[in-house]
Amino acid sequence: MSKAQHKPGLLTPELSARLAALQARAAEVADGLWGGSHRSAKQGASVVFVERRAYSPGDDPRLLDWRALARTDKPSLKRFEEEAELEVQLLLDRSASMAWRHDHHQTKLQHGALLLGALAFILSRQRDRVGLGFVDAGYEPVLPASAQPGQASTTLRELAAVEPVEGETDLSAALLAFADRSRRKALVVLASDLLDPLGIPQDAMRVLRARGHELRLLHVLDPAELNFPFDTPRRFHGLEGEADVEADARRVRAAYLEQVTRFLAEARDATLSAQTSYTLARTDARPEETLADALMQSPRAARRRAWA
Amino acid sequence: MGLSTPLALFGLLGLALPILAHFVRSRRLPEQSFPAMILLARADQAQRHRSALTDALLLLLRVLTIVALTLGLAGPRVPVTGRSAGAPEELVVVFDDSLSMTRDDGSATPVERAQAALRAELADLPADSQVSLIMAGEPAWVALPAGSAPSDVEAATHRRSRVRGGDFPKALELARRELASSAHRRRHALVLSDMARHSRASSVDWTALGVPVHFVDTAEAASAATNRRLTAADLTLDHDQASIRVTARGITTDTAVVVSSAGHVWTRGVLAAGAGESHVTLRVPLPEATLTPLEIALEGEDVIAADDHWPLWLRSREDVALLIVDGQPDPTGRRGEASFVTRALDAGRTVGAPSYRVVDEVALERLSPGDHAAVILAGALPTRRGALALRRFVMAGGGLWVAPSPQLAWRTSNSRLLGLLPARFGPARSTDEERPIVTEQAGLRSEDLVGTRAGPALTLSELSTRAHVWLRRGGPLMVEGPLGQGRVLMLGAPLGDRLGDLPFQPGYLPLVLRACERLVGAHASRGRIVAAGEVMHLPSEPTSTLRVESPGGALDGPGPEGRFRHTGGVGLYRVRDDEGARPELAFAVIPPHGEGDFTPGSTPDDISLPTTESGGAVPRSKPLAPWFYLFAGLLVAAEGVLRASRRSHGTRSAR
């Protein structure tokens, strides 16, 4: 596991410029969401519906709404205010594969940082506790969850300064490490391309879920990874030490697209089985739309989809 | 299989190109970073597995294409076996279309068998061969010249004359001429004939063609049916009737013979069966008309109908065409010029020889123009008055033939006949030659002097006209000159046994007959007879508008010098001009001599010549290059289809 290549508190001119750009863009995204174009966005991740929710196996029986049970003969829980205080952990995949772009202005890392930075803006306005961590071959906590006023800025600074880490990705180890270190249940938002040689960390996601965490996946991919726009013979070389591949792009395209389709389906299935919400975050898509889609997908809906 | 350009096989070295391209892939490729290498690696593996077979097929197609093109450029050829594989040939076909070839005994005629044999021969010819066709009926003619296509031959064999005798000597000459103009080195001849004895096909020197000759006997021995045929009809006029002595051959059963005119049967008779000739004499009354057509016909049908009929003109008065002045009367009638002339005329009676009368020299004094057609001074020297009368006679259109005797006083003849003769007699010269030379411009032929020998002859000098017969070392032997409306013939040698031995060798008989006919000219055509296919001589007057009406009704004019050739139909021919009918010129065409006799002759052995380098078979071969090019084209098309299929598979979208 590599250390972050940023130095908190040391703002180089480049870093200041990146931070300013990220702040401005994240604020813009947050405003766009907060502006009411996505009703559910007002609820935010930590805004709890004051409502009853049905009892699910594993819930604390002490939280049962006995009156509702007597009335409806159906077990339900009151959503107490302490759920609105559920902390949010933002995890950013900073593996080398995230530092790639084809024709788009942003790398996947930058786009992921933008999405998480916008979320940090939104959550800080709601005085939710927001934490930040990086994943690559392992997990590195960056900012403990806090609702302090400067938490968003600090989060943005860290996101602006993040650099990709060389070496292979091991998301599974990273998520498991996160799960071991987290004492409190949290809403975990992971921005990653899931390009892990060990595969999609389905088991790790289940572990997170079993430990009470809510995981929302932002699957960050460049359009070129989805469409494979190349049409001439090339020598393709990976960013994480993979073996080179010499191929006629035109001849291999159909087979590659089949692999992409299968990969996306596996990712959806894995998140589904882990009761995790899944959102494809194309780097050429508007971040507001991506986050709106992500916020609309509630964990409850994810459970329903899983049980269905 | 052989190769016409084996050096082209070096093109097979080009096989290295697709093979190297297939296996050597150390190309300098552009670099491309890509994060989803996991997915790309899987895709590449799947694609390689799928395209391995396609790549192998493409390599195979490219290799085969290069091989096919290289072999095509090398010019492969395979030999073609059989005669049809040989070089083009020139075939000259001598087709006997004489009357005997048309005999119909219920099976195929010899003509049909000849056509079948010809078809088989043509089918076996190599490609691009050419054919010429000689029809051997008299007179022989070229139906298709050298260089004609084989496909035109069979149709040409159907353009036969109606009734003809055989003329193989002339056919041989024509065949030689056509072979000489052939463009191909390989030449041979085919002779199709029933090889009947009368055709004398085996007596012709076919080796003179200088090419291999194949003979096909189109007659079948089993179908040697006997043919009845009329061979002569001698007409003799009495005071009030005409006697016709009919001669026939092949009469195996008593056969009726009918004499009719314009459908009216005048009389009948019976020819008794017998071997050899059969005779019957029929008598008919003399008609009032000057000229009456008669037809003598055998009743019933046989294999050839044309020789069962004999046409004859019957004239009310038998005009004497020739007046023979005998200068050496011989009581025995055996010697002297006159006797030889009369014997020649008698022998030619059946073929239309002019009638004659023999008188002495004094009778000439009473001669008037128009009494006769011509006068023959057979060793005679007329008196002065007779010479004057003779001159008037000739000037008015009569003919004169001066035939000297061995005792002729040539000086006296010159003076007595001054103004008459186209040349002057000179001292006799000693000659002894066979077969003097004949200039064939006066209707005389070299065949007319077969078997002759010229002895001492008077010199003919101061010629004012052309000579018809020449001695090789002695100058002219027979000359002719015009005088007024008539013409004068002079013979430098006696007609006696110096020019032939009568009656054993009719050496000069044809000469005498034709000379008499020429003399008689317009006057001597009465009662003339020619065999079908022969030429009838008519007057060749400059202002002649003569037209000949054939038995079928066709009207044709004579050719140059009055030669009428359209004698293909047996029957009676009339002559007319702008002023009307010319009965004195009417003539009859009888069946060809001997054609009715089917006695088989000998079929000559095929003539083979040694195969020389220039005339030998040139082995032929078929080129295979087009097939290789076609195969290469198909391979290229297949490669295109395969590449298009691979390309379309690569551009499919997964979504």
Q: What percent of chain B has pLDDT over 90?
A: 18
Question: Which whole number is the average pLDDT over B393-422?
Answer: 83
Rounded-to-integer distance, Cα B31 and Cα A30, Å: 39
| DSSP reduced 3-state for B310 | strand
Mutate to test the interface with A, among B28, B34, B44 (most CBs of A within 10 A): B34
**What's the first-to-final CA gap in chain A, in angstroms?**
38
Write phi, then psi, for B313 (nearest 5 degrees). Answer: -90, 130
CB B47 within 8 A of CB B41: no
Give the residues across from B196 on adjacent strands.
Answer: B600
Radius of gyration from C-alpha coordinates of chain A: 20
Task: List pLDDT tens digits, range A116-169.
Answer: 998 888 888 777 889 999 999 999 999 999 888 888 889 999 999 999 999 888
Position A6 scores a pLDDT of 39
> Does B506 have pLDDT greater than 50?
no
The answer to whether B529 and B350 have CB atoms below 8 angstroms apart is yes
Task: Give me chain B's average pLDDT, please.
Answer: 80
Give the tens place of pLDDT for each residue, B411-450: 888 888 888 888 888 887 766 666 677 776 556 666 666 6
Say what the pLDDT of residue A83 is: 44
Range B87-115 average pLDDT: 88
How far is the alpha carbon of A261 from chain B, nearest alpha carbon, in Å?
7
The ipTM assigned to this model is 0.78
What per-residue confidence (pLDDT) applies to B416?
A: 87
CA dihedral B313, B314, B315, B317 (to 10 degrees): 140
Q: Residue B526's pLDDT is what?
A: 37
The span from the CA of A189 to the CA of A178, in Å, is: 12
The answer on pLDDT for B456 being more than 90 is no
Residue of chain A whose Cα is closest to the Cα of B44: A252
In chain A, which residues have their Cβ closer than 8 Å to the Cβ of B32?
230, 234-237
Q: Please, are residues B400 and B389 in contact by the beta-carbon 8 Å criterion?
A: no
What's the average model confidence in pLDDT over A158-185?
90
Q: What pLDDT was estimated at residue B654? A: 36
Q: Which of B155, B174, B92 is nearest to B125 (CA)?
A: B92
CB environment B157-181: b (16+ within 10 A), e (fewer): beebbbbbbbbbbbbbebbbebbee
**Inter-chain CB proximity B655 and A261 less than 8 Å:** yes
Looking at the predicted structure, is the pLDDT value of residue A102 above 50? yes
Identify the top-confidence range among B161-170, B175-184, B490-499.
B175-184
Question: Smallest CA–CA separation between B59 and chain A, in Å?
Answer: 17
Is the bond leading into B354 cis (omega within 30 degrees of zero)? no
- pLDDT for the residue numbered A308: 39
Token pair for B636: 């290229």
Cβ–Cβ below 8 Å for A237 and B51: no
Instruction: Find, in chain A, the residue whose alpha carbon is nearest to that of B25.
Output: A246
How far is B649 from chain A, CA to nearest CA, in Å? Answer: 7
Q: How far is CA A225 from the centre of its chain?
A: 19
Q: Tokens 């290549």: give the residue.
A: A5
What band does B68 get if pLDDT is binned at 50, 70 and 90?
very high
Write the DSSP assignment of B437-498 as a string of letters: EE-TTSS--GGGGTT-EE-SEEEEES-SSEEEEEETTTEEEEEEEEETTEEEEEESS-SSTT
Q: Which of B37, B46, B652 sits opposite A245 (nearest CB)?
A: B37
Task: Read off the pLDDT band of B238 (50, 70, 90).
Answer: low
Give A94's contacts in chain B (Cβ within 8 Å): none
> Which residues does B contribute to its contact with A (CB < 8 Å)?
25, 27, 29-44, 46-47, 50-51, 646-647, 649-655
Instruction: Say whether pLDDT at B615 is over 50.
Output: no
Which residue among A233, A251, A255 places its CB closest to the CB of B646? A251
Q: Is the CB of residue B454 less than 8 Å from the CB of residue B415?
A: no
Least confident of B212-221, B408-417, B438-447, B483-492: B438-447
B189: pLDDT confidence band, cut at 50, 70 and 90?
very high
pLDDT in tens, B22-60: 666 556 789 999 999 999 999 999 888 877 888 888 889
Cα Rg of chain B (Å, integer): 40
Q: Is residue B635 scored above 90 in pLDDT?
A: yes
The neighbouring-strand residues paired with B536 are B564
Closest residue in A to B33 (Cα–Cα): A237
% of chain A beyond a pLDDT of 90: 44
CB-closest option in A240, A246, A261 to B654: A261
* Residue B59, helix vs strand vs coil: helix
Q: What is the largest CA-CA distance in chain A?
A: 70
CB contact under 8 A, B651 and A259: no
Instruction: Measure in Å the smallest separation between the Cα of A172 and chain B Cα atoms.
Output: 17
The neighbouring-strand residues paired with B91 are B131, B188
Please name the residue that has the structure tokens 């005498």: B512
Tokens standing for residue A242: 């993979």
Residue at A127: amino acid letter: R
State whether B34 and A250 contact (CB < 8 Å).
Answer: no
**In this complex, do A256 and B43 lie within 8 Å of one another by their Cβ atoms?**
yes
Tell me, what amino acid is at B266?
W
Would you call A258 and B46 a contact, using CB atoms and an 8 Å cutoff?
yes
What is the distance in angstroms between the Cα of B21 and the nearest Cα belonging to chain A? 15
DSSP string, B381-420: ---HHHHHHHHHHHHTT-EEEEE--TT--HHHHHHHTTTT
| H/E element, A235 | strand A233-237
Task: Check CB contact under 8 Å for B37 and A243.
Answer: yes
Least confident of A233-237, B190-194, B579-583: B579-583
Report which residue type is found at B602: S
Q: Are A205 and A276 in contact, with CB atoms under 8 Å apart?
A: yes
H or E segment at A221?
strand A214-221
Mean pLDDT of B529-546: 73
Does residue B626 contact residue B227 with C-beta atoms inside 8 Å? Answer: no
Q: How many whole angstroms separate alpha carbon B564 and alpha carbon B497?
A: 34
Mean pLDDT of the residues in chain A: 81
Closest of B63, B56, B51, B52 to residue B647, by C-alpha? B51
Least confident of A189-193, B81-85, B186-190, B387-391: B81-85
Helices B16-23, B37-73: axis angle to 10 degrees equals: 170
Neighbour count for residue B219 (Cβ, 10 Å)? 22
Helix, strand or coil for residue B571? strand
Instruction: Name the token pair of B44.
Output: 């590449």
What pLDDT, on the 0 to 100 scale, is given for residue B41?
94
Confidence (pLDDT) at A53: 72
- A264: pLDDT confidence band, cut at 50, 70 and 90? very high
Q: What sign results for the dihedral spanned by CA atoms A176, A182, A186, A187?
A: negative
The pairing of strands B374-378 and B399-403 is parallel
Contact A255 B50 (CB under 8 A): yes
Kindly tell me if the per-residue pLDDT of A39 is higher than 90: no
DSSP result, A2-14: PPPS--TT---HH
Worst-scoring range by mean pLDDT, A163-177, B116-130, B286-300? Answer: B286-300
Mean pLDDT for B229-245 is: 78
Q: Which long-range contacts (CB under 8 A, 24 or more apart) does A146-150 make?
A: A149/A124
Highest mean pLDDT among A261-270, B72-81, B222-231: A261-270
Measured in angstroms, the CA of B26 and the nearest CA of chain A are apart by: 10
Chain A residues close to B645, C-beta within 8 Å: none
What is the residue whose two structure tokens read 């000057």? B290
Minimal CA separation from A234 to chain B, in Å? 5
- pLDDT the model gives residue B449: 65
Chain B nearest-CA distance from A46, in A, is 34
pLDDT tens, position by position, B332-374: 655 677 877 887 788 777 666 777 888 888 877 776 655 677 8
In this predicted structure, the answer to whether residue A93 has a pLDDT above a threshold of 90 is yes
Q: State the burial class of residue B371 (Cβ atoms within 10 Å of its Cβ: 0-12, 13-18, 19+).
A: middle
The encoded tokens of residue A286 equal: 């508007």
**B204 pLDDT tier (thresholds 50, 70, 90):** confident
Q: In chain B, what is the straight-line distance between the N-terminal and C-terminal CA atoms, in Å?
A: 57
Of A195, A250, A258, the CB nearest to B43: A258
Asked if A253 lies within 8 A of B650 by C-beta distance, the reply is yes
Distance (Å) from the alpha carbon of A171 to chain B's nearest alpha carbon: 15
Which of chain A's residues have a Cβ under 8 Å away from the Cβ of B43?
A: 252, 255-259
Mean pLDDT, to the nearest integer, of B181-199? 86
Residue B74: pLDDT band (50, 70, 90) is: confident
In this prediction, residues B105-125 reach a mean pLDDT of 89
Indicate the residue of A197, A233, A255 with minimum beta-carbon distance to B29: A233
Question: Rounded mean pLDDT of B451-455?
Answer: 64
Closest-CA residue of B relative to A102 is: B34
* pLDDT at residue B445, rounded to an integer: 66
State the Cα–Cα distance between residues A266 and A205, nearest whole angstrom. Answer: 14
- The residue ranking higher by pLDDT, A289 or B222, is A289
Query: Residue A110 has what pLDDT?
Result: 93
Q: How many residues does chain A have?
A: 308
Range list of H helices, B403-443? 410-416
Question: How many CA atoms, within 13 angstroms, populate the side-chain half-sphere of residue B242?
Answer: 24
Residue A255, min C-alpha distance to chain B (Å): 5
For range A245-255, the mean pLDDT: 91
Set of chain B residues whose Cβ sits within 8 Å of the Cβ of A250 = 647, 650-651
Compute CA distances B236 → A64, B284, B608, whole Å.
Answer: 164, 11, 54
Tokens 């013939």 correspond to: B489
At residue B636 the predicted structure's pLDDT band, cuts being 50, 70 and 90, is very high
Q: What is the pLDDT of residue B95?
A: 94
Residues of chain B in contact with residue A236, where contact means CB-CB under 8 angstroms, are 32-34, 37, 40
Contacts with A256 from chain B: Cβ below 8 Å: 39-40, 43-44
**B588-610 pLDDT per residue, tens:** 888 887 888 888 888 888 988 76
A chain contacts of residue B24, beta-carbon cutoff 8 Å: none
| Cα(B131)–Cα(B190) distance, integer angstroms | 10
What burial class does residue B555 get, using C-beta atoms within 10 Å of its C-beta: 0-12 exposed, 13-18 middle, 19+ buried?
exposed
Predicted local distance difference test score (pLDDT) of residue A236 = 95
* H or E segment to which residue A181 belongs: helix A171-181
Percent of chain B with pLDDT over 70: 80
CA atoms within 13 A on the CB side of A170: 13
Q: Determine the pLDDT at residue A77.
A: 75
Q: Which residues of A touch B (CB under 8 A)?
A: 96-98, 100, 108, 193, 195, 197, 222, 225, 230, 232-240, 242-243, 245-248, 250-261, 263
Probe site for chain B from A236, A239, A257, A260 (most B CB atoms < 10 A): A236
Question: Looking at residues A216-229, what average pLDDT do you find?
Answer: 95
CB contact under 8 A, B654 and A260: yes
Q: What is the pLDDT of residue A79?
A: 58
Question: Which has the higher per-residue pLDDT, B405 or B489?
Answer: B489
Across B439-467, average pLDDT:
68
For residue B655, list chain A residues with Cβ-Cβ distance below 8 A. Answer: 257, 261
pLDDT band at A1 (very low <50, low <70, confident <90, very high): very low
Q: Do residues B531 and B165 touch, judged by C-beta distance below 8 A?
A: yes
CA distance B640 to chain A (A): 16
Residue type present at position B533: G
Peptide bond preceding B30: is omega within 30 degrees of 0, i.e. cis?
no
The answer to whether A90 and A131 are in contact (CB under 8 A) is yes
Which residue in B has a C-alpha nearest to residue A260's C-alpha?
A: B39
DSSP state, B524?
Answer: T
Q: Cα(A230)–Cα(A247) distance, rounded to whole angstroms?
A: 10
In whole angstroms, give the CA distance from residue A132 to residue A145: 7
Which amino acid, one-letter code, is at B146? Answer: A
Confidence tier at B522 by pLDDT (50, 70, 90): very low
